[in-house]
Structure 1
């Protein structure tokens, strides 16, 4: 595959890149869910336009990463599903949904994956777990009351991507997540346990809680049954992340 980008997801895809020579992966978009910079959004839209046009010309499939996080499904009544209309509730969600529509209108062969919160070594410092680790180590952690997040190991995401690309899917949107909305307080509990320290908790009444539906993912990728998705799935990946942080500090 041709991978456009050199960030967290792009690096993680390298082990399977040679298996899919007719796929182009756009992994160079806006990764900051709280971002609102119009210039960044415009840059990604222009890049998608050029890449989709090239894929249409060459007959290759374009893999595009969207979001299944709060920005997309935060206002949904019930689990967030790919086959139901959504009303995004953040600028980032509005942007990603607009790009999905842009890609559909391009008539390029494509697959859209709406991602949960990826966790793994080397992820951007502004994302959830690195941010919580910094705050815990500084002694003060901010928690949005009632907030919950769907965490998924980046290694499991690559397994899922591999299985999906091996199928003849075109024009599909698939949620890629664990299907579990984990309260942020529990994530902090687990990080504190792994880091061996605790922090004062400061609560804000701005939390959101939604569940990402993964029925379609399970149907398309039966191997997900072996990945351990369930209420305690997050514990393993948070423990692994904390262990990586501790090991890096000790070295």
Structure 2
């Protein structure tokens, strides 16, 4: 069963199963501040768990939890609260903390979609030179769950391609694919957070070159 109708939910249709409850509905904007949006997701999760037994819950959280600059954000507080509720109220679960998803459509505010939009539309934007970001192809999330979902139980997995991309690396790849130059200024600012990836993730992405991974993303989704 799949709860949701966005990018993640649509991508999971190929592995939908009566043995799993994919909870892919909720707050997608990390800058959200309306309490009603957080309460809506919590209420939906609570009701879904109460009416679903004998299935494994797959919940999609965020690697932003590891970002020290976002420790006081309502979004991070919310995701941590959701994780804690699942751990205390679900018989069988797998929580995936996801990096910056790249896929077909989805939230226009995601890093990749934002940069693509700015470049294609010739908008001016600012690049923080110290920033590094973790990316993941939505198709890889689906495949990872297909291969490992039944093996991982009652745990949290940091899920992303294990390479910290410089923003200008991402911009250059998008420029190459769109044949357009980004119009941006640079600021000596930014941050990134280190993430520990377990063997399941490192093995899953073993042997993949970071440059090739990024080029594949731009070719698929531009």
Give yes or no for the alignment of 1:153 onto 2:137: yes
Preserved CA contact (<8 Å) 1:116 1:176: yes
Aligned residues: 221
The two structures, once aligned, show a CA RMSD in angstroms of 2.2
Deviation beyond 6 Å, 4+ runs, structure 1: none
| 1:33 CA drift (Å) | 1.8
Quote the residue 2:26 is aligned against.
Answer: 29
Distance, in Å, in 2 between the alignment partners of 1:173 and 1:110 is: 9
What TM-score does the superposition give when structure 1 sets the normalisation length?
Answer: 0.80
Preserved CA contact (<8 Å) 1:190 1:239: no
Quote the residue 2:2 is aligned against.
Answer: 3
Preserved CA contact (<8 Å) 1:179 1:229: no
Quote the residue 1:41 is aligned against.
Answer: 38
Residues 211, 49 of structure 1: alpha-carbon distance in 2 compared, 3 angstrom cutoff = same
| 1:204 CA drift (Å) | 4.7
Distance, in Å, in 1 between the alignment partners of 2:186 and 2:61 is: 29
Quote the residue 2:149 is aligned against.
Answer: 165
Distance, in Å, in 2 between the alignment partners of 1:43 and 1:203 is: 38
Give yes or no for the alignment of 1:191 onto 2:174: yes
Preserved CA contact (<8 Å) 2:173 2:214: no
What TM-score does the superposition give when structure 2 sets the normalisation length?
Answer: 0.90
Q: Secondary structure at the match of 1:63?
A: strand
Residue among 45, 58, 67 paired with 1:63: 58
Preserved CA contact (<8 Å) 1:149 1:181: yes
| 1:43 CA drift (Å) | 0.7
Q: How does 1:198-213 map to 2 (within 5 A)?
A: 198-204=181-187, 207-213=190-196
Residue among 66, 70, 78 paired with 1:73: 66
Question: Can you list the C-alpha shifts for 1:210-241, whole angstroms capped at 9, x where unaligned?
Answer: 2332224337xx44326x26464223212332
Preserved CA contact (<8 Å) 1:113 1:176: yes
Distance, in Å, in 1 between the alignment partners of 2:199 and 2:139 is: 20
Quote the residue 2:121 is aligned against.
Answer: 138
Residues 240, 91 of structure 1: alpha-carbon distance in 2 compared, 3 angstrom cutoff = same
| 1:202 CA drift (Å) | 2.8
| 1:147 CA drift (Å) | 1.4
Q: Secondary structure at the match of 1:225?
A: coil
Q: 5+ unaligned residues in a row in structure 1: which ranges?
A: 77-86, 243-251
Distance, in Å, in 2 between the alignment partners of 1:34 and 1:229 is: 32
